[in-house]
Amino acid sequence: MMENQVLDVKHSPETCKASINAVRDTLYVLSGKWKLPLIVALSEGPQRFKEIQRALGDITPKILSKELKELELNEFVVRKVFPTTPVTVTYELTSYSKSLENVIEELKNWGIQHRQRISESMRKPIAGE
Amino acid sequence: MMENQVLDVKHSPETCKASINAVRDTLYVLSGKWKLPLIVALSEGPQRFKEIQRALGDITPKILSKELKELELNEFVVRKVFPTTPVTVTYELTSYSKSLENVIEELKNWGIQHRQRISESMRKPIAGE
């Protein structure tokens, strides 16, 4: 299943085109800077709007609402309404969002590594490529 | 090194926050719909501007130029000028862009899987979550 050589070997233009298209499909569905962080935030368990907003820190309610709707539409998130007074609304991940586990794990690992690289390069001059 | 449980277990809010920040760092550096597809395109080997444009299909020269500059700035791509007549300019990946191998692999796998899911769901009614 895995080729794990995206950058290691020279592909034929056809293989390369197929890889470009698959990556573009993913980026299309997960477009923008909020969808993946939102999914990570919800991995803590079902949460209310205000709790999600707090977890993300700097998202406006308008954008959060829009992003949650798009995630619902793509079946990554379910909005549940409980008949309390006043009503309680929570958002939780669907089983389909679990399919993003490896994607998120790699984005997280890379982010950690990139931040380390930046701190190191601030301590010494950057070596030329 | 790997926790691989981003979505499987409930985290403490602190762990969750750290994961959100790491993912956001990555998305920040690789922002937009073009940078990762561009890196995949260049994994074929050094290429000229026109060749990259052809590989991506629907990118305008203005955007391609802007994206390549940003990739250069972040040390993912090197621009090389050869003293031919007229001069030849190529773009190639740096060794640092290899660190994105796993990220790209997972985005590619997910895109392939997502496309399959869509084709399947077009053949039968969508099951509710």
How high is the ipTM of this complex? 0.81
Is residue B127 over pLDDT 90? Answer: no
Confirm or reject contact between A72 and chain B (CB < 8 A).
Answer: no
Q: How far apart are CA B17 and CA A127, in angstroms?
A: 32
Residue A126 — pLDDT band, cuts 50, 70, 90?
low
Please, which contacts does B47-56 make with residues 24 or more away whose CB atoms are closer than 8 Å? B47/B90, B47/B91, B47/B92, B48/B88, B48/B89, B48/B90, B48/B91, B49/B89, B49/B91, B52/B91, B55/A13, B55/A16, B55/A17, B55/A20, B56/A20
Is residue B65 over pLDDT 90? Answer: yes
Is residue B70 over pLDDT 80? Answer: yes
Among candidate residues B74, B38, B25, the one with its CA nearest the CA of residue A110 = B25
Q: Which residue has the tokens 């990259």?
A: B52
- Can you name the residues that pair with A82 across neighbouring β-strands? A88
Give the best residue of B11, B59, B106 to mutate against chain A (max A CB count within 10 A): B106
Residue B102, Cα to own-chain centre: how many angstroms? 11
Size (chain A), residues: 129
pLDDT of residue B72: 96
Q: How many angstroms away from the CA of B14 is the closest CA of chain A?
A: 10
* Enclosing H/E stretch for B77: strand B77-82
Q: How many CB pairs under 8 A join A and B?
A: 195
- Cα A17 to Cα A29, A121, B43, B65, B84: the distances in Å are 19, 34, 11, 20, 29
Instruction: Give me the percent of chain B exceeding a pLDDT of 70.
Output: 85
Is residue B122 over pLDDT 90? Answer: no
| B55, A16 contact by CB (below 8 A) | yes
Q: Which two tokens stand for residue B17?
A: 């926050």
The one-letter amino acid code at B17 reads K
Q: Identify which of B3, B6, B110 has the shortest CB distance to residue A26.
A: B110
pLDDT of residue B35: 94
Confirm or reject contact between B52 and chain A (CB < 8 A).
Answer: no
Give mean pLDDT, residues B26-37. 91
| Weakest mean pLDDT among B10-14, B42-46, B90-94 | B10-14
Q: How far apart are CA A11 and CA B40, in angstroms?
A: 10
Q: Is B88 exposed, middle or buried (0-12, 13-18, 19+ CB in 10 A)?
A: exposed
* Alpha-carbon dihedral sign for residues B39, A129, B22, A2: positive
pLDDT of residue A17: 86
Contact B24 A104 (CB under 8 A): no
Residue B2 — pLDDT band, cuts 50, 70, 90?
very low
| B36, A21 contact by CB (below 8 A) | no
- Cα B56 to Cα A27, B9, B34: the distances in Å are 14, 38, 9
Task: Residue B36: list chain A partners with CB under 8 A.
Answer: 23, 27
Residue A69, Cα to own-chain centre: how many angstroms? 15
Q: What is the pLDDT of residues A19-78, one digit of tens each?
A: 999 999 999 999 888 999 999 999 989 999 999 999 998 899 999 999 999 999 999 999
Is residue A9 over pLDDT 80? Answer: no
